[in-house]
């Protein structure tokens, strides 16, 4: 994993072709794309549901109730995780582009943002799910 | 400094592909809006999902309380516009990368631009015309 570069690995795919199999940097790019597209689709739905405040308080409250459903609540953790990765990796991309030593430390910076992601997501997940979990198992 | 001697270019003008700097501005916009969105979106997610009970305390009254302040109105308006243009520009790149036929690429982009205009207009309208006493 650590030592191989993209050039060493290209051309070693099964078919003997030259399929690009980049290293970690490629996967950080793939994850950046997927999290970005997912967030954009969610944003479409989210502006529509918020627009219900122009219809009636009742209509808005009803739709917002779905956000408090345990399954949807779990998706919210996923959404926050996706957006957080996209934000942290975006900062890393900017450092690679604008900081003179950025390209040299791109791999270390990837591990750093992944570590930061875990550090933020542990308390984040706790606070997002604590009420749902206590209502399911504590019984209110 | 010695004088740089180069043959005079024979082509009368630059090739077509280099005549526009659109992609450069698009690249720059992604980074500038990205910095702003890190603050706006992570702040929004923290307030709405994590702080003080998170999503369970959100209802019409909560929205009314926030949009009583011009600060949060401006926050949400800036977030809406920047996120739509940043995300729309990202999706434009994704469409350019994966659509194989010109017609597919064209219609996917039409769909994308229509959805961007729809969401930006609707969101802006809602923020500017929000009425906390809508039922009265």
Q: Please, which pLDDT band fits residue B4 given cuts at 50, 70 and 90?
A: confident
Residues of B in contact with A128 (CB under 8 A): 49-50, 54-55
pLDDT band at B96 (very low <50, low <70, confident <90, very high): very high
Q: What is the pLDDT of residue A1?
A: 41
Percent of chain B's residues with pLDDT above 70: 93
**Span of B2-6, B69-73, B111-115 with lowest mean pLDDT:** B2-6
- The C-alpha angle with vertex A101 and arms to A99 and A106, in degrees rounded to 5, equals 95
For residue B45, give both structure tokens: 């997610």
- The complex's ipTM works out to 0.83
Residues of A in contact with B61 (CB under 8 A): 57
The predicted model gives A50-72 an average pLDDT of 94
Chain A and chain B share a number of CB contacts under 8 A equal to: 95
Chain A residues with CB under 8 Å of a chain B CB are 33, 36-37, 39-40, 43-44, 47-48, 50-51, 53-54, 56-57, 60-61, 64, 67-68, 73, 76, 80, 83-84, 87, 90-91, 93-94, 97-98, 124, 127-128, 131
The per-residue pLDDT of chain A, averaged, comes to 88
Give the pLDDT score at B122.
97
Tell me whether residues B37 and A87 touch, CB distance under 8 A.
yes
Q: What's residue A11's pLDDT?
A: 46
Calculate mean pLDDT across residues A14-24.
70
- The per-residue pLDDT of chain B, averaged, comes to 91
Please state, for a pLDDT cut of 90, what percent of chain A lies above it: 74
Spatial CA neighbour of B55 closest among A124, A56, A42: A124
> Contact A127/B50, CB-based, under 8 Å?
yes
The DSSP code for A89 is H
* Residues in chain A, total: 140
Output the DSSP codes for B86-123: HHHHHHHHHHHHH--SHHHHHHHHHHHHHHHHHHHHHH
Minimal C-alpha gap between A125 and chain B (Å)? 8
Query: Which of A31-35, B3-7, B93-97, B110-114 comes out lowest in average pLDDT?
Result: B3-7
Q: How confident is the model at residue A2 (pLDDT cuts 50, 70, 90)?
A: very low
pLDDT in tens, A96-109: 999 999 999 999 99
Task: Report how far residue A31's alpha carbon sits from residue B114's, in angstroms, rounded to the nearest whole number.
Answer: 26
Burial zone of B65 (CB within 10 Å; 0-12 exposed, 13-18 middle, 19+ buried): exposed
With an 8 Å Cβ cutoff, is B38 touching chain A? yes
Residues 6+ apart with CB under 8 A from B78: B36, B40
Distance CA A44, CA B62 (A): 21
Provide the pLDDT for residue A136.
Answer: 84
pLDDT of B97 over the 80 cut: yes
State the Cα–Cα distance between residues A69 and A129, nearest whole angstrom.
11
CA distances from B124 to A47, B39, B69 (A): 10, 20, 16
Mean pLDDT of A10-23: 62
How far out from the chain centre does Cα B84 lie? 3
Between residues B9 and B48, the one the model is more confident about: B48
Q: Is B21 helix (H, G, I), strand (E, B) or coil?
A: coil
Assign A8 a pLDDT band (cuts: 50, 70, 90). very low
- More confidently predicted of B123 and A1: B123
Average pLDDT over residues A55-81: 94
């Amino acid at each position: 994993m650590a030592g191989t570069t993209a050039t060493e690995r290209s051309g070693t795919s099964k078919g003997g072709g030259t399929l690009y199999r980049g290293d970690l940097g490629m996967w950080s790019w793939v994850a950046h794309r997927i999290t970005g597209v997912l967030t954009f689709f969610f944003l479409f739905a989210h502006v529509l549901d918020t627009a219900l405040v122009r219809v009636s308080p009742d209509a808005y409250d009803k739709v917002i109730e779905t956000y408090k459903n345990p399954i949807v609540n779990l998706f919210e953790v996923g959404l926050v995780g996706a957006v957080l990765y996209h934000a942290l990796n975006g900062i890393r991309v900017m450092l690679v582009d604008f900081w003179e030593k950025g390209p040299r430390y791109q791999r270390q910076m990837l591990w750093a943002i992944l570590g930061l992601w875990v550090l933020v997501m542990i308390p984040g997940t706790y606070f997002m799910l604590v009420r749902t979990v206590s209502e399911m198992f504590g019984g209110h | 400094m010695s004088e740089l001697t180069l043959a005079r270019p024979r082509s009368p003008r630059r090739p077509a592909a280099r005549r526009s700097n659109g992609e450069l501005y698009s690249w720059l916009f992604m980074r500038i809006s990205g910095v702003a969105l890190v603050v706006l979106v992570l702040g929004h997610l923290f307030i709405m999902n994590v702080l003080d009970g998170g999503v369970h305390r959100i209802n019409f009254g909560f929205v009314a309380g926030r949009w009583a302040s011009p600060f949060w109105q401006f926050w949400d308006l800036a977030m809406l516009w920047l996120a739509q243009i940043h995300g729309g520009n990202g999706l434009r790149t994704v469409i350019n990368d994966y659509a194989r036929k010109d017609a597919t690429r064209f219609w996917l982009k039409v769909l994308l631009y229509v959805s961007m205009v729809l969401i930006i207009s609707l969101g802006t309208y809602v923020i500017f015309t929000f009425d906390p006493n809508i039922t009265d």
